[in-house]
Structure 1
């Protein structure tokens, strides 16, 4: 790189010196014209004012008589040509006797012969700087012209005169360029960690290829809170505009929780966050160079499909638990019937079976009358049996009503309702003679699901965090810890609904599921 800088600087210096040389030569010729032109004019005026020239210019032997004055003028001025001509330009006397009788260019078209003049003249095919002065009689008549001219010096001589200075300046420029290139190269190598330009370009290409080929999203945030880098996956997962790089995180259309995670300047464990209709896993790490912090890099992984699978698995587990509870309940009841039969208490058997049948029918009828969707009704029947095993009454409010739902909406409603009920049952586990109130209703635009329990409620500082994946008030060893309510929030976000919790003699969880089509990214 230093060699390239040196060659570049030498090239620039050479071009500048050549331009300066041309300007110098041009100025030298201009100075020659001004100085020598005035000198030629002074000699011509002196020659034209000589009495001998004025008196003998018309004599028959004028060429011989004027020759001494012409030669004297040439010797004094150093001119190339000194001549005396008549008014028509015919040479009468000249420093070059061979030109006597020739006609010279007097530049009469540029100035009247009766006036002195100086400028460029072409004499014998050569370019000269000349001066022309009229030879006047006492009455002002122009009898002839005194002409003095000097050839322009060749360009080569002017250029040769400039060569020593040119070489000196070029050498000085080369030395300064070499020193500057070496210092600049050291500075650039220190700033680029010792990498050459081709290595930097290869590194940048490899980085781009890596960032845009991995499936995970990568987003870098500087210490000033601005996006420094992000790949296409991160842009798609967070729904950012294509030109988001360089924009402050706070100005991006992101959920407040996601913004807070991206702006954290410390290492963090894997964190779940909901962005739009996606459930993301964020892993943040601080980065630096040579002990100097530079910001954070956060990787994003889409876990939306996995969350949906977990939701289905949780539903299956709930069904399994319900079947287990019902099996246990049916076994106890069957053992009771068997004992009564062995004791011969057939009337008690009929009464006991009738009571069981009537109670089951009442529960089923109450739910079926208000909940017309079969899958949601089946969930409520199953959850009622499961809660009863723990000594908890699950009661459907009298205001509940639900029409049949299309399959995808019914699945989302089951996810929300099942997790709300499970959360309520867990909150009051160990209490007796308690009731969980369930309210499910719909209108023309949405479904509203509300579950209330008489438990200790949710602390105000946890009302938002409780819907974050991974957060739970259950023991660390509990299964399904921190999953259910995060799935509820995800389902509601996909439906453009909302989920919230408040305290009213216990915890009240409420969610809405609009009938609008689910947004798929």
Structure 2
């Protein structure tokens, strides 16, 4: 991992960061639970104890002795038993009896007698009972307390005195403890379990990330993307469900796909059927050459697995179009060589015959044989050149006629054929197409009942080439796959088969045309190649 930045000792690991984050989350959750619990307990204390304070104050205010002696100069001593009893019954911290002017006349805290109190927002001076929050001064400090106040009224409704019963708010810990008998235990257990779970989860993350940190994982991803998209070979990864999981730039170009093909099933993208079938097949570990409509691709498929579990396949591909074209040219040269060999063999036999006749003195027979051979050669040349004006194509047909005859197959030119002179580049492509179709037709026709191959070439409406054979024909289920490299309807022979028809489709497609196969009228197969009119028109204009 030399391309990754080295770790620093002070940098916290990914697992450590996750642990701290989780602990913080647990702490926040526990704090929120505690806050809600405290708020609920405070609200409950205010509602329940507030009513209790008012009830105690009302009870004390209604006591006859309080109503009679509240204004007595020694009221603090006379009413002390009743005040202390109110404290004992209510559990309040402070019980006081004050005058309307706020001066304390009796109190459970004798030190407060004679002090001035501020009723604040209380409505008790208006003759109404009131409960609320106040700060009660005790021991030199203000204690936030809940207080209930009830007025002592005269017959005419005037406020004679005020009875106050107050109790300090409990502390946060007291509120938490009062919220539930085991709330603190539950919070502690929750915190412990949260920390433990966070620690285990951080360990699991560290194990699954192979101990890599965030920067290293990002570096690996960037490095992987750079490698995959910069190599010349195409790379396609497909998972076990047939969904494309990876597609680099070269593969997109070779297969004619867009980047959005990633994540889609092979059947849902515009992919050549032969390539799609290969990607879904079980072929692994060997090179397979497939010809699409525009390219010749060499593919190799390997299984991909992790920790012993198969996760899909990875297919690499190379563009072999130029190589296939060169092979087609070599095939054409081989065809010419075979033709010359056949003609050499034929001429050798004829020369031996002439030599023997000369030695025997049969000069009339020599003249007759030479005349017959000349006429036969002239007939073959005339049968071709009468319909085909392009010299390269005509030479090919003449040579193929002799080569087919050596195999016992008659090569016939359709009487309606017509081909004007072509541009040299187009003539080369036509020779490739026509030569491969004729070779294929001769091979399948050899040994048939009436071994014949019929060729039709016409440049009237575009450029059409038709080659019919007397062979067994092409099965319906092979009429598309037969044009893929390595696919053939013929028996296997040394050197392999299938390249000829692949080149025919490749060349035809590159010229903007098409090729198809159908059944012949008297058996065998018919291969029809159609090229657009601008091809032949442009060639004729150049000529």
| TM-score normalized with structure 1 length | 0.78
Number of the residue aligned with 2:3: none
Candidates 287, 295, 301, aligned match of 1:270: 287
Deviates more, 1:256-265 or 1:74-83: 74-83
Candidates 239, 253, 259, aligned match of 2:270: 253
Preserved contact between residue 488 and residue 499 of structure 1 (Cα < 8 Å)? no
Preserved contact between residue 364 and residue 381 of structure 1 (Cα < 8 Å)? yes
Displacement after TM superposition at 1:156 (Å): 7.4
C-alpha separation in 2, matches of 1:386 and 1:266: 38
Candidates 458, 478, 490, aligned match of 2:506: 490
State the secondary structure of the residue aligned to 2:498: coil
Number of the residue aligned with 1:232: 249
Number of the residue aligned with 2:541: none
C-alpha separation in 2, matches of 1:266 and 1:408: 38
Report how many aligned residue pairs link the two structures: 509
Preserved contact between residue 243 and residue 264 of structure 2 (Cα < 8 Å)? yes
Q: Say whether residues 1:73 and 2:87 are aligned partners.
A: no
C-alpha separation in 2, matches of 1:292 and 1:149: 73
Point out where structure 2 has 5 or more consecutive residues left out of the alignment.
1-13, 536-543
Deviates more, 1:343-352 or 1:72-81: 343-352
State the secondary structure of the residue aligned to 2:149: strand
State the secondary structure of the residue aligned to 2:259: coil
Q: For 1:217-272, what per-residue CA distance to the aligned partner results, in whole angstroms no more than 9, with x for missing partners?
A: 33344443333444333333222342333433333323333333222235474333
Structure 1 pair 3–169 and aligned structure 2 pair: CA distance change class (3 A): farther
C-alpha separation in 2, matches of 1:470 and 1:424: 17
Structure 1 pair 453–345 and aligned structure 2 pair: CA distance change class (3 A): same
Preserved contact between residue 229 and residue 249 of structure 2 (Cα < 8 Å)? yes
Candidates 309, 325, 330, aligned match of 2:326: 309
Number of the residue aligned with 2:527: 510
C-alpha separation in 1, matches of 2:64 and 2:448: 146
Number of the residue aligned with 1:447: 463
C-alpha separation in 2, matches of 1:117 and 1:23: 27
C-alpha separation in 2, matches of 1:463 and 1:35: 91
Preserved contact between residue 120 and residue 127 of structure 1 (Cα < 8 Å)? yes
C-alpha separation in 2, matches of 1:497 and 1:210: 38
State the secondary structure of the residue aligned to 1:42: helix
Structure 1 pair 201–97 and aligned structure 2 pair: CA distance change class (3 A): closer
Deviates more, 1:323-332 or 1:313-322: 323-332
Preserved contact between residue 265 and residue 296 of structure 1 (Cα < 8 Å)? no
Candidates 426, 432, 435, aligned match of 2:443: 426
Number of the residue aligned with 2:427: 410
Number of the residue aligned with 1:19: 32
Q: Say whether residues 1:469 and 2:482 are aligned partners.
A: no
Structure 1 pair 222–24 and aligned structure 2 pair: CA distance change class (3 A): closer
Displacement after TM superposition at 1:279 (Å): 1.8
Structure 1 pair 96–413 and aligned structure 2 pair: CA distance change class (3 A): farther
Structure 1 pair 461–93 and aligned structure 2 pair: CA distance change class (3 A): closer
Displacement after TM superposition at 1:134 (Å): 1.4
C-alpha separation in 1, matches of 2:476 and 2:52: 106
Number of the residue aligned with 1:41: 54
Number of the residue aligned with 1:397: 414
Displacement after TM superposition at 1:394 (Å): 2.8
C-alpha separation in 2, matches of 1:156 and 1:235: 67
Q: Say whether residues 1:64 and 2:91 are aligned partners.
A: no
Preserved contact between residue 393 and residue 430 of structure 2 (Cα < 8 Å)? yes
C-alpha separation in 2, matches of 1:310 and 1:482: 12
C-alpha separation in 1, matches of 2:73 and 2:513: 118
